[in-house]
Amino acid sequence: MPPTAPQAGLACDLFVLLESLGRRLACGGSTAALDVLVDRDLSFSQVRCLLSLAMDDHELPIHKLAEQLRLSVAAAGRNVDHLVREGLLEREEDAADRRTKLVSLSADGRKLMAEFAFARQDSVVALLDRLDEADLRRLHAALGPVLTGLDGLSPEPADLVITTDPTATTDSTAITATDTDLEVPA
């Protein structure tokens, strides 16, 4: 059912507010997060490959990665080749179909993406720390039901939640999706 005129107007007003909030969250002080990736001298497409694999958290055939990123298989393959050479991705044959190459984050790739996620989290927390506690609680109370209501509307990537220290040198560094880690204590 299409929205009524008042709903459409309210939705447009909310869009402006959410876009402003999104810009502040994405850009406000997040240079440290971007620096984590910039320091590796990665192209935008290579960063998109890493983000896509981090959000899926499982190996993907190169052609599926290409579809997700809206790249040709050849372009995705070139990005994967570079990231494999950099030690950020692993590539192996699919046991079920040896013609298919599967790619996933390597231990170094998981560590880099965890460092990126930690830096983004730090910048967002620093921004939100500028609000008083009452405003933070109101924001939390408002966003919980909204996000729950949106869950069934469209497929969105999982929230990145870091479960280990990004400086860990083992393969245990992981990025997982959970809702319980997003709760704010009363």
pLDDT tens-digit readout, 153-163 = 644 444 444 44
Query: How much is the pLDDT for 29?
Result: 55
Question: Domain residues of the chain, as ranges?
Answer: 9-38+107-186, 40-105
Q: Report helix, strand or coil for 3.
A: coil
User: pTM (2 decimals)?
Assistant: 0.66
Q: 11-15, 28-32, 60-64, 85-89 — which is least confidently predicted?
A: 28-32
Report how far apart the first and last C-alpha atoms of the chain are (Å, whole number).
37
Q: What contacts 92, CB < 8 A, 6 or more positions away?
A: 59, 101, 102
Nearest-angstrom CA–CA distance, 22 and 148:
18
CATH T-level fold of 40-105? Arc Repressor Mutant, subunit A (1.10.10)
Q: What is the mean pLDDT of residues 60-66?
A: 94
Are the C-beta atoms of 49 and 89 separated by less than 8 Å? Answer: yes
